[in-house]
Amino acid sequence: MDAEKRKALRNAFGTFMTGVTVVTTLDSAGTPQGFTANSFSSVSLDPALLLVSIDKRSANFATFTESRHFAINVLSAGQQETSNIFAQKIPDRFSLVDWVEADSGVPLLAGSSAWFECELWQVVDAGDHAILIGKVVEFESQGSAGLGYYRGAYFTAQHHMAQGVTA
Ligand SMILES: Cc1cc2nc3c(=O)[nH]c(=O)nc-3n(C[C@H](O)[C@H](O)[C@H](O)COP(=O)(O)O)c2cc1C
């Protein structure tokens, strides 16, 4: 695919509104690592599975694909700065945010809308990314509004539309 077509595809993918997450783990030296991701999706309730895709060019690619545990932190409306911190190549991202350790040791970011602590269930090779499928071992959800991402920019919900369909 040429550069122009690639950019058009990227823009077309960007028309899908998403939330923003920070994916976290500990590397083999026990140092916290994390990156911003909007490719998160819930997958299954039983077993409880979710997914996120990671770029093969990420400095943390080996750490995440070889880790036993990782966490998804769903960012809340006030956490744009956190999203930017974990999307930039800066040395110690975790010194700039408040976080605690989950039982498995993975970092959980304070102030998130929700977090999911996962065991790495499967890694699926997918082009220039790999899909990390996690089995949720613990989770918590706050009532706070989430941070949105659409066409390359952040947004927050001003008001809720009509109630969605619930089972
Ligand atoms: C809103 C947003 C969403 C992103 N989503 C992803 C994603 O789903 N997967 C991914 O690998 N990178 C994603 N990125 C880019 C990574 O956050 C970024 O490349 C990474 O933090 C670079 O640092 P690293 O090489 O140290 O991992 C996203 C960035 C932003 C701002």
Is the CB–ligand 1 distance for residue 144 below 6 Å?
no
State mean pLDDT over 140-145: 93
CATH topology of domain 18-152: Pnp Oxidase; Chain A (2.30.110)
Residue with tokens 């996962």: 118
Is any ligand 1 atom within 6 A of the Cβ of residue 53?
A: yes
Q: Among 136, 86, 92, which residue's Cα sits nearest to residue 115? A: 136
- Which atom in ligand 1 lies closest to the alpha carbon of residue 36? 17
Instruction: Give the DSSP letter string of 81-129.
Output: HHHHHTTS--TTGGGGS-EEE-TTS-EEETT-SEEEEEEEEEEEEETTE
For residue 64, report the phi and psi dihedrals to the nearest 5 degrees.
-75, -35
Is the pLDDT at 115 greater than 80? The verdict is yes
pLDDT score of 80 more than 70: yes
* 43-57, 63-77, 122-136, 144-158: least confident range: 144-158
φ, ψ for residue 54, nearest 5 deg? -125, 135
d(CA 160, CA 124): 35
Ligand 1 pocket test, candidate residues 40, 58, 74, most atoms within 8 A of CB: 58
Instruction: Determine how many CB atoms are found less than 10 A away from the CB of residue 41.
Output: 12
Let me know: does 113 contact 75? Beta carbons within 8 Å.
yes
Q: What is the pLDDT of residue 157?
A: 84
pLDDT at position 93 over 70: yes
With b for 16 or more beta-carbon neighbours within 10 A and e for fewer, the 136-165 pattern comes to beeeeeeebebbbbeeeeeeeeeeeeeeee
Testing ligand 1's pocket by substitution, the residue of 35, 50, 90 carrying the most ligand atoms inside 8 A of its CB is 35
For residue 54, give the ligand 1 atom closest to its CA.
Answer: 11
pLDDT at 122: 98
Domain boundary assignment for the chain: 18-152
Segment (H or E) for 26? strand 21-26
Cα 81 from Cα 143, distance rounded (Å) = 20
Instruction: Say yes or no: CB of residue 87 within 6 Å of ligand 1.
Output: yes
Which ligand 1 atom lies nearest to the CA of residue 60?
27
Q: What is the DSSP string of 59-84?
A: TTHHHHHH-SEEEEEEPBTT-HHHHH
Instruction: Decide if pLDDT at 57 tops 80.
Output: yes
CA of 162 to the centre of ligand 1 (A): 32
